[in-house]
Structure 1
Amino acid sequence: MAAAEGRSGGDSGHVSQSHSNASGLGGQEDEEGDALDASLRATAAAYSAYLLVERSAFSEQVESLEKSLEELLTRVDEFVGMLDMIRSDSSQVVNESLPEIYTKAVEMRQIYRRIDKLEAFVKMIANHVAGMEERVVKAETDLGAFPSTFKKILHTISMPSFRNVILSDLQKSSSSRQQTAYEPPVLFKTEDYFPCPNEAPY
């Protein structure tokens, strides 16, 4: 019985000692945690002091940088607006302008055909005019051209012999003109190229 009491007394002393040791370890851990938190705060404050620059020392540079950033943001907004406008214009061109352009192109093809026909008509007229000029030059060369005013001048000349010679030459030339057969040139008809409204076009 006494041995049991002695054993129980020894156990109670051992338990109290273990409780005191546990409480001592918990206090050390709390102190170490507080010290770690304090060191972390000090380290963060030191890094923030390195990163955060005093504004008063570099105020001009900071203001210029802010202005540059604001201008850059403004340009970006303008560029985005321009892109939106280009997108809307592109959709308008694709949906509205291109069909209108195609319709006008089809209409212009008919106008181009008319222009080609008109150019061919003008070229044909130029060929006819050139042929007429050649005939006129040939007629003047073959028949001769003697103005009526010059005939009147000859009648006023007092020298009869000279006047008779000239008049005889004129009579010979007139007789040769009468003997020459006139062949009219083959000309075009405007009705063939410019018909009446009730007729079919050329």
Structure 2
Amino acid sequence: MMPAHYALSDAAIVLVTLFAGHALWRNIKVLPAFAMACFGVAASIGVVRFGGGLQDALAALHSGASQYLGLAGAFAILAHYLFPPKGRNGIVIIAFILTVALAIFWFAPPFLGPLFLLALMLACAASIVRPSLSQPSWLVPVACAVMLANTLFIRRATWMDEAVSWHAYHLIIALALAALAKGLMTTEQRVS
């Protein structure tokens, strides 16, 4: 059984996504705000799972939500650059993202991880090649690269204690999401 302190680093993700998602939504960054919601919901399940002593009862839900919503969040970040919605009219794109991610989750689970990594790589490249506004922000590609490296090297690192790896992985996600949001807000402020 995993101890309750595992909820703390998930709570950091929840806090970042609440503030960042709200700020992005206010600035009509619909798809990044949706990405924040995806990561925040998955982390919220982790907070309840560990904070409420429901480690075994919510293990499958937490794992599944993290994989499904993590993929949807990565797709949303990528879609922000490839298919930017006009105003707040991103519901069709969001519905498409949720449907595709769910289909992959149910019918092709071995592809969840590779597609998450691919989406992050493409989002990193797209944020450089097709910045959302007139000037690219270095924070956006760095945030995507950090999330990518975090997934590859920290997420179940055999060279780290399990608890240290868990907390490091989640705290790095929180920092990367904060940097992503700040980067998107920075480009918005430069144009104003």
Higher relative contact order (CA 8 A, sep 6+): 2
> Normalising to structure 1: TM-score of the pair?
0.19
Identify, as 1 or 2, the structure richer in helix: 1
Larger Rg: 1
> Normalising to structure 2: TM-score of the pair?
0.20
